[in-house]
Chains A and B, each alone.
Chain A
Amino acid sequence: MAQYILRRLALLLPLLLGVSLLLFVLTHLIPADPARLIAGEHAGPEQVAAVRKAFGLDRPLPQQYLIYLAKLTRGDLGVSMRTSSDVGSDLREYFPATLELTGAAMIATIAIGVPLGLVAAIGRGGPLDLLAQLVSLSGLSFPIFFFGLILQLVFSRWLDWFPLAGRLATGNLAPAHITGLYVVDALLTGDFATLRSALVHLALPTLTLALALLALEVRMTRSTMLEVLSQDYMRTAWAKGLVPFTVYIRHGLRNALIPIVTVMGLHANALLGGVFLVEVIFAWPGLGLYSVEGILALDYSAIMGTALLLTLVFVLVNLAVDLTYAVLDPRIRY
């Protein structure tokens, strides 16, 4: 098992290399000059040239790439041309916000999606099933950016139940920095007023982000449960006279968990893509916002740094999913 993990982690390196190369090529294909942006709109040609030199942008491309790699081995992700601060520290600054949002979305997905799928499977063909299917299909078909706007309109503007944007109310101080996740930090420090504010600000973005994932989770749970329910061992359980709860949860759900967990892993993909749009709409100061601004500013270091981080997270999530299989299904051994 340990060997398996090590092998997987070893593959990470060439993967990151490949990703960095791909992105380096992509960003440098963009036919524009980031030195221009740093120097400012009214900068003269000589000012721009000076900036270009200062950031090493005048060197040949392969050399720039190698320099980047060399710095990377020392843990130096470079300096963001836009914010003038170290990309590493920028990422550390903005990562917790995205983590909090995606974490909350995953929790919401499981908390709402699995029971809904379960209920749909059990009440197959009935009104609940139909409702669940409708909800999930709609969730997949709704443009996420549009959904976010609608939520803002209905729940913030009309009903005034939730705030519009941001992580905390203006003037609210962030809780003491332990993890960077406001909800967790507020809990740990007993700062309940801030906890409340953080939760309330988390609600709408989480719901928006979880939309598509939720839909998929419901469908996955439903179809897996349906398969499971038709298996022989289920009939055995019924025959044994067990209570429905035990039958469904202990025997049914547990076996269904594998595909359900797979979906979560696969859809880290969908989550991370959606995070961009959601962070922009709700002014959530996370990686999504940081990288969108980076892309717009042609901030090579920021784009590369963010992409590498995302890849790392992605691969680790997949690894975690695979390992969870092993835990859930004793037949699987690496």
Chain B
Amino acid sequence: MNRHAHDGRLSRRELLRGVSLAGAALGIGGAELERLVRAGQVIAAGDTLVVAQDTSVQTFDPQIVYDNTVRITRGVYETLVALDGSTPRIVPRLATAWTAAPDVRQWTLTLRPGVRFHDGAAFTSEAVKVTFERLIKINRGFAYAFKPVVAGIETPDPMTVRFNLSTPDAAFLAKLASISGGLVVSPKAVTEHASGDDLAQGWLRDHTAGTGPYMLERWDKGQQQVTLTQFPGYWGGWNGSHFKRIIFQIVTEASTQRLMLERGDADVATIVAPDLIDALARQPGIKIAEHPTMRIFYIAMHCQREPLKDPKIRQALSYAFDYEGARQAIFNNRLAPLNGPLPENDPAHLVTPKPYKFDLAKARQLLSESSRPKGGFTLSLFLFQGDPTFRKAAEILQAGLRELNVQVTIQEMTSSVLLDKAGKPETAPDLLPVRNYPDYADPSAMIEATFGKDSWGTAGWNFSFYANDRVERLLAGANKITAQMRRLQMFQEAQLVIVAEAPAIFIGTLINRVPMRSDVQGFSYNPLLGNTFDLYGIHKG
């Protein structure tokens, strides 16, 4: 493909080369040159990263953001503690040390000194208090993990903060390290820019005031472009290789993103379609960063409604799904196994492989022993619109069930409509393909959310409307103790019960694949942090 001829514009690479040569010849400095070049041309700096972002920005408010915009806000705001690299190990970030009271109802954290916000305010325990109280008051997004648990926040001195909890929570620290777990916002900004009692939601929608390495330079709605620039006073310093500027160009069309990456108009793409990624992998100048995730992919079955109320029927369905075919057709074989509610790389995942395989004979046999021996019923299935993965899985299940004389009617709808219906057991579909990942690094998070009795519908993420007393007892017990071995045992038991009752068809654990230009280095991904990646460490080699 002729890279020299896109509409007369030079590719960024060529421009960079040309510009630096010209600059050297003329003795002009980098910044000056950049400004010259910027006038009407593509920004040709090697110190700019362009990310093709898949969803538009609604708000930058750290206490509200809960969609893919988190990719951006995590470079601007920071949490108290962080996860180490790709592991679930908790390391210091804005807090340097921490202790928990023996009854796990009080957590005390020592804060890092000398940290400043983008607007100049100093980072103290007051900022932490303001942030969390704001989170709970606004009550959106991740507030659900903190609101029922946090009873009060004390600030005994500027560098110490104490959380008093209403119930013991062994997972509290993990919550603090999670993707939206208390991104600390400047109290100065909150007070100065508050409008009425909105706690500065209006201002923080389009502006930022965090402690993170980058700050928001411009949010160009017309061009759908977010520009982040370095925060010179960042406590982590700027030694080493970092990008001066990071541009998020919002492009919702997957094939457009793909072409942008090929042409070098973007450095990192955020598409997920396996076929597109494979096509990109074959192009020169592009590489794919692959990492295991904790995202599980399954089809929830409605356990409170006939005929799926009968566990034998659910088991029959579990044998009627072509797991290998799905792996091949949907994921091009890039899919890790899934034996139960917990993903492969969770330390507490079920070690016994699940019994279910694609076996129509066994499915027929189980069906014949069930309450509907001859099949002959119809199941409803809802699809989240816009994601072919769900659709393909649905069609594969549909084809398998056709063999059992079971019909599946599929209805695709937008997520708001779907979640509204699926939220209540009366209107939820019989079958629902879902993706889920734990919000924080604790096995209880996932199991409770997916199969706990308090998580039915959108109260959690339990679209199977499953409830089992033994499982509840095991989970409650595990929450009260911190002894790891004992906890693991309890989780294993709970999972065995769940898998035997087949409240869902467990398809696989997703593998995160991010296509980027070959010269992008330092890409770091943590499975517990959704599909965000570290903006500080990434650079061009």
Direct touch of chains A and B (CB < 8 A): yes
In the docked arrangement, what's the CA distance between A9 and B225, Å?
A: 39
Question: Which of B142, B221, B461 has its CB near the most chain A CB atoms (within 10 A)?
Answer: B221
- CB < 8 Å: which of A36, A167, A170 contacts B420? A36
The residues of A that contact B8 with a CB separation of less than 8 Å are 196, 200
Q: In the bound complex, do residue B140 and residue A160 qualify as a contact, i.e. CB atoms below 8 Å apart?
A: no
Within 8 A of B (CB), among A8-34: 30-34
The residues of A that contact B385 with a CB separation of less than 8 Å are 296
Main secondary structure of the interface of A (DSSP, over half): loop
B26 within 8 A of partner (CB): no
Q: In the bound complex, do residue B141 and residue A40 qualify as a contact, i.e. CB atoms below 8 Å apart?
A: yes
B195 within 8 A of partner (CB): no
- CB < 8 Å: which of B48, B50, B221, B251 contacts A165? B251
The residues of A that contact B256 with a CB separation of less than 8 Å are 152, 164-165, 283
**Minimum C-beta distance from B249 to chain A (A):** 5
How many pairs, one residue from A and one from B, have CB atoms within 8 Å of each other in the complex?
156
Interface residues contributed by chain B, number (CB under 8 Å): 59
Q: In the bound complex, do residue B42 and residue A169 qualify as a contact, i.e. CB atoms below 8 Å apart?
A: yes
In the docked arrangement, what's the CA distance between A166 and B220, Å?
A: 13
A306 within 8 A of partner (CB): no
**Given A160-B5, A162-B7, A163-B6: A172 touches B41 (CB 8 Å cut-off):** yes
**Given A93-B221, A162-B7, A283-B251: A170 touches B42 (CB 8 Å cut-off):** yes
**Given A41-B415, A166-B223: A83 touches B58 (CB 8 Å cut-off):** yes
The residues of A that contact B142 with a CB separation of less than 8 Å are 42
In the docked arrangement, what's the CA distance between A99 and B145, Å?
A: 45
A245 within 8 A of partner (CB): no
**Minimum C-beta distance from A126 to chain B (A):** 37
What is the size category of the interface that chain A forms with chain B? 35 or more
**Given A84-B59, A194-B40: A45 touches B459 (CB 8 Å cut-off):** yes
B367 within 8 A of partner (CB): no
Q: In the bound complex, do residue A32 and residue B420 qualify as a contact, i.e. CB atoms below 8 Å apart?
A: yes
The residues of B that contact A171 with a CB separation of less than 8 Å are 38, 42-43, 48, 50, 247
**Given A93-B221, A285-B223: A161 touches B58 (CB 8 Å cut-off):** no
6 interchain residue pairs of minimum CB distance: A193-B40, A171-B43, A37-B416, A32-B417, A32-B420, A200-B7
- Beyond A42-B439, A97-B222, 19 extra complex contacts between A and B, CB < 8 Å: A34-B416, A39-B140, A41-B419, A42-B460, A45-B423, A48-B458, A51-B140, A156-B259, A160-B6, A163-B7, A166-B223, A170-B260, A171-B43, A191-B39, A193-B39, A200-B7, A283-B251, A283-B253, A285-B221
Instruction: Pick 16 A–B contacts, CB within 8 A, sort by A.
Output: A33-B420, A37-B416, A43-B144, A45-B423, A45-B459, A97-B222, A160-B7, A161-B6, A163-B6, A163-B7, A170-B266, A172-B41, A174-B220, A193-B39, A196-B8, A200-B7
Residues of A bordering B, CB below 8 Å: 30-34, 36-37, 39-48, 50-51, 82-85, 93-94, 96-97, 152, 156-157, 160-174, 180, 191-194, 196-197, 200, 280-281, 283, 285, 293, 296-298
Residues of B bordering A, CB below 8 Å: 1-3, 5-9, 38-43, 48, 50, 56, 58-59, 66, 139-144, 201, 205, 220-225, 247, 249, 251-253, 255-256, 259-260, 265-266, 385, 414-417, 419-421, 423, 439, 458-461
